[in-house]
Amino acid sequence: MLEIEKTFSTFTDLFNKAYGVVFEGYPGFPKFSIWRLMTKIWINEVYENQKLKSCLNTAFQQVLKNHRDKNVKQIICHDQIFEFSSDTQNPTTTLPKCLYINFQTLLLNQYLLI
């Protein structure tokens, strides 16, 4: 992205000068740049696209849940060896009960409260 910005620096400088001449007296900040243009396109096409927005939210929540589960297991089981089971309905008896906290319920409750 920085290379594109450097490549088009002459164009962006001319564009900003032309804007200053044509719209004299109007605020000219922030200055036009390729970086800013790409950011505006990204916001319009990605963040404001409702279908993609919900998919990104769901994916982010899943990654966060996985990371949280991993961290909880590492903290609690730091010096001990436990047998891990992915079945949350029938946890292995050697695992501490707190490893089976359902983080989805917490996320769902927060989502419903918003």
> Residues 43-54: pLDDT tens digits?
888 778 878 878
What's the pTM value of the predicted model, to 2 decimals? Answer: 0.41
> Residues 17-59: pLDDT tens digits?
999 999 988 888 888 999 999 999 988 887 788 788 788 888 8
Q: What does DSSP assign to residue 47? A: I
Type of residue found at 29: F
CA separation, residue 111 to residues 13, 67, 70 (Å):
45, 19, 22
* 59, two tokens: 């994916």
Nearest Cα neighbor of 98 from 70, 76, 81, 71 is: 76
Question: pLDDT at position 73, please?
Answer: 77
Query: Are the C-beta atoms of 103 and 96 separated by less than 8 Å?
Result: no
Domain positions in the chain are: 1-48, 56-114
The dihedral sign for the CA sequence 53, 55, 61, 67 = negative
